[in-house]
Structure 1
Amino acid sequence: AKALRPDMKVICVQASMYPGMLAVLEGREAESGGASIAEGISVKTPGNLTRKVVKALVDEIVLVEEAHIERAITLFADVEKTIAEGAGAAGLAALLAHPEKFAGRRVGLILCGGNIDTRLLASVLTRALVREKRLARIRIIGDDRPGLLALVSKIIGDNGANIMEVAHNRIALDVPAKGAEFDILMETRDAQHTQDIIDALSRAGYPPRQN
């Protein structure tokens, strides 16, 4: 690509946990390490051949945080219906982390891998739901009496949310002896929908705490 379009800029992306190549180009030492989701580019010491290629062809190196890589994986799956591993999604992560750098430019992204463990992918997608408040955990404290959980569940259901999980705790020391606490994990449409349900529960006399 660089040979066909010499004016093209090639930008390299590295996980901030492993900035080895950037350090090499800047002539300094850098600490690398940690459990990065971008395993394919988690390299502590860049090889000599790779250094030569990067020095010859790459115009700039940018670093991205783990949260941007996670969001990039999620966007590939959610919008493009494409599975990307952490290293493969690094290019999109750079767009998310440094939008001002690419504004008004024609940008080509290379998705260079989709080798991601299914459990890790599930974790990334679930964490995205939590960040977007489409998956919310609330705690309600009330009297330990028959029908309370059914009433709370009805309010949540009537407002269009789906209950994923319920934990009923009668021995919590921060509630009265005749009380109980309910930890409820629910799936909603977005942050506003979550807030609407919290408001509805509060109006009914069961103000929840968000965990």
Structure 2
Amino acid sequence: MGRGTATLLAAVAAALALPLLALGLNLPWWLALVVAVAVFGGIWLVLKPGGGLGPGLTDEAVLDARSATAQGLLLEAANAIDRLRKARREIKDAPMRTEIAHLLEVGDKVVREVREDPNRAMAVRRLLTFYLPNAASVADGWRTLEARAVPSTERMTQTREVMGGLSQAFAKYADDVAEPELQTLDLDLKVLKDALKADLSNTP
């Protein structure tokens, strides 16, 4: 395949990936752009004249793209966690501080596991890019309420309810971070069950 054709196909794929990632998967535009560039580079390397990529290098390009995506997600999550920690230090209400401490515990656990294995990143993308930043915003809002001479009782009640819902969402994603391992387990179990069934059925 000619170099021009390879470039054109890679550019088309990247152009399609950008809105899909940003609008379909709700990734931040800057992160979607990073992934789209990685898509362009990976496809161009595969299709360029002479098939200049061996299988190992193709795998390397895929791993680089996954790693870049994970690092972008972790950067956004780390900023949100820092905001949550700052808010917790300044909040006076003990139950709210406890709620935030729970969110921080789960957030730190998920971030740590994604750092150890970038393949887990997409399973918890929504936690890292949506729930964590919004939890930080809600915590900041509570801190603002506390600073008022007469805080709104209705707003404080709603904030407590939302924080309770966030705790449930965080717990769900703490389980989802193990999804790649569970998928591997499901595959291993199926293979072993099929093998055992075949071998035992042939036993005299």
Pick the TM interval, shorter chain: under 0.3
Report the TM-score when normalising by structure 1: 0.26
Normalized per residue, the structure richer in strand is: 1
